């Protein structure tokens, strides 16, 4: 344990400088690697001890893997993850502060990436730098995995995970972005909850395409290529997928029952005790509740034809699916093919992301995260849940039983809506708490003799 660990001042200013570099991975074809190389150089400047005492490997153009040797280098390591790319942002979208200005004002650091994911990246590096300054050595190796193309489903994190597999290294646990500290997480539930993702749905995109004979639109066939694809899209709905309640959702409801009041307490208890009832009710509620218990379907792109009065020779559509825990990509495709029931519609997998297994909550790893929450956000109750979005940790869960997703920052509903939206910002007080979380987590990592998988 490190004694007298002091936190360096200036973390808001450091985050501001990170935000000022527009590492927009979707614009990589236009900007090239220059913004990303400038960001990597900035990390070297801002965190000198980290770059002096940890070894760093560049894995692909956009992947950074740091290794902090522990006192027992034979023990399975810990992997802490973050990404430094961001989604696009334009001032004309309605930002109160220019998205890449990095302005510090009104108790916040403003700008694209403040919450997703440069803020979480910063608090992790702040803790490492502070612990290094205090002469701390972790009980086992700690790896920092930083990716630069998470927002575009890039290969940096995938290549980093493959490096572990090639070396036959199974992390003791992996922690990536994901949940946050939220207030009143469900109706009639009091207090704050630290929502810790113990699983995530599979992000999969399929393309439906069809061809047809061209010609003049004055003599159309019964079904054009556009009509055939449109019919196929209309047949793929969430109702075709079974609803089942993940164990994490049942645990979440049981914990919330303890903080609910009135009839809500009885309702949450009943739902926690009945997976079938929960799946049925959440499906009827629609929206986010329904997304927790079954595969979702989102047609996102549709194209075909060359002129308004010409029969289309081809048409295609893209459908984004978030496959529910317990399902598989092949099983989902079989179900879709049966429902479309049209051999002239070609079905291709553009991105085939399988859902993760559920990581346990009764182990030393989850307890370690919960204890760190008790240091940084003592009023928040650690609660497991299922993420509907995809994170870079998806490349680890295939061979790492303990994968968790949690950003140690308190976020109101309005702040959570700013992620990928406008007016993204992080409270300066949360940068302090986030550093405390990671410092508590790293210093409490047990040696292998005290670990339980």
Q: Which of 76, 116, 126, 150 is catalytic?
A: 150
CA-wise closest residue to 160 among 424, 395, 344, 356: 395
Residues near 212 by Cβ (< 8 Å), separated by ≥ 6?
221, 224, 225, 228, 311, 312, 313, 314, 315
Q: Two tokens at 25?
A: 């991975």
State how beta strands 173-183 and 192-200 pair: antiparallel
State how beta strands 192-200 and 380-387 pair: parallel
CA distance 384 to 358: 10
Judge whether 75 and 451 are in contact, CB under 8 Å: yes
* Annotation marks residue 85 as catalytic: yes
* Annotation marks residue 76 as catalytic: no
CA distance 409 to 180: 6
Q: Which of 85, 116, 200, 327 is catalytic?
A: 85
CA distance 174 to 365: 9
Give catalytic residues, as residue numbers: 85, 150
């Amino acid at each position: 344990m490190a004694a007298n660990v002091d936190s360096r001042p200036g973390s808001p200013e450091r985050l501001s400088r990170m935000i000022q570099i527009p590492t927009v991975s979707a614009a990589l074809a236009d900007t090239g690697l220059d913004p990303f190389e400038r960001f990597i150089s900035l990390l070297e400047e801002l965190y000198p001890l980290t770059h002096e005492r940890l070894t760093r490997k560049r894995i692909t153009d956009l992947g950074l893997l740091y290794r902090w040797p522990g006192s027992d280098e034979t023990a399975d390591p810990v992997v802490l993850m973050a990404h430094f790319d961001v989604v696009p942002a334009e001032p004309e979208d309605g930002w109160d502060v220019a998205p890449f200005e990095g302005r510090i004002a009104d108790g916040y650091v403003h700008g694209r990436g403040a919450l997703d994911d440069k803020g979480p990246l910063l608090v992790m590096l702040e803790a490492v730098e502070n612990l290094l300054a205090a002469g701390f050595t972790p009980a086992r190796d700690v790896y920092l995995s930083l990716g630069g193309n998470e927002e575009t489903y890039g290969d940096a994190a995938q290549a980093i995970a493959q490096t572990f597999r090639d070396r036959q290294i199974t992390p003791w646990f992996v922690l990536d972005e994901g949940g946050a500290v939220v207030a009143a997480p469900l109706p009639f539930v009091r207090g704050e909850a630290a929502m810790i993702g113990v699983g995530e749905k599979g992000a999969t995109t399929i393309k439906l395409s069809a061809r047809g004979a061209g010609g003049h639109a004055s003599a159309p066939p019964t079904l054009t290529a556009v009509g055939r694809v449109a019919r196929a899209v209309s047949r793929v709905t969430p109702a075709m997928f079974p609803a089942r309640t993940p164990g994490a959702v049942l645990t979440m409801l049981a914990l919330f029952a303890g903080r609910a009041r009135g009839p809500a307490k009885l309702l949450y208890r009943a739902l926690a005790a009945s997976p079938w009832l929960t799946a049925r009710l959440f499906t009827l509620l629609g929206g986010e509740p329904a997304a927790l218990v079954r595969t979702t379907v989102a047609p996102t792109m549709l194209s075909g034809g060359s002129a308004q009065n010409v029969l289309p020779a081809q048409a295609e559509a893209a459908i984004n699916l978030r496959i529910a825990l317990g399902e598989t990509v092949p099983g989902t495709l079989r179900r879709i093919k049966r429902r479309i029931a049209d051999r002239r519609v070609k079905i291709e997998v553009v991105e085939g992301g399988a859902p993760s297994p559920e990581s346990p909550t009764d182990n030393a790893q989850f307890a370690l995260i919960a204890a760190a929450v008790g240091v940084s956000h003592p009023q928040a109750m650690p609660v497991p849940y299922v993420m509907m979005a995809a994170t870079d940790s998806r490349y680890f869960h295939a061979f790492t039983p303990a994968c968790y997703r949690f950003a140690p920052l308190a976020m109101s509903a309005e702040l959570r809506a700013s992620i990928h939206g406008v007016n993204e910002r992080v409270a300066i007080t949360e940068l302090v708490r986030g550093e405390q979380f990671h410092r508590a987590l790293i210093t409490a990592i047990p040696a292998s003799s005290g670990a339980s998988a």
